[in-house]
Structure 1
Amino acid sequence: MGDKVERIKKWAKAIKSQDWKCSAWLSPDGYLSCCIAHDYGCAEAYVFEDKRLRKHYDQELRRCVQRKGYKLTGWIMYAGVRLYSNFQRLLGKAQY
């Protein structure tokens, strides 16, 4: 039980820290909901230290943005978040 509580605390702290700034991407008026969902997903992946979960949420971000009509932006954002997460992992600061 204590492990679950600690993971929830870690998740809440990750969300509050705003380490994931997808929501600040250019002018996300048309796809802000996609960015918020991605931010929460990344926090979940961080808590569970699961790089597959992080990749899943990165792919969901791309698909969501594209469904909103921003085809190219979806791919650019996907490339950016994948590069960022892999770069952080190389530096030993993995945010999954």
Structure 2
Amino acid sequence: MFDYNLLGKGYVYSDIRNVCCSLGSDDARKALLTEYGNYDESEKLVDDVVNSLYSLYVACQRESFPNWANDLLDKVKDGTLFTAVKKLLEETA
């Protein structure tokens, strides 16, 4: 797979997440993950935190809070993001 976004090397897991988000079914996601191969689990731990924080930052810069960010805001409210931060810190300690 070639990802020309910003023409730089990024985390493999962020590409996997981005593609999986756009796939319509669990079967399609499973097929992609099977064919894509392994990824570094530490990338997922970082992405689980950074993607949410950065996306919320972008959402808050808009004049009105976008609907696409509501799920991310829910992660803050229900503790999912906090749990991801704790897990990242535990794994990197």
- Say whether the fold is shared (TM-score over 0.5): no
Query: What is the TM-score when the length of structure 2 is the normalising length?
Result: 0.30
Query: What is the TM-score when the length of structure 1 is the normalising length?
Result: 0.29
Normalized per residue, which structure has more helix? Answer: 1
Task: Determine which structure has more spread, i.e. the larger CA radius of gyration.
Answer: 2
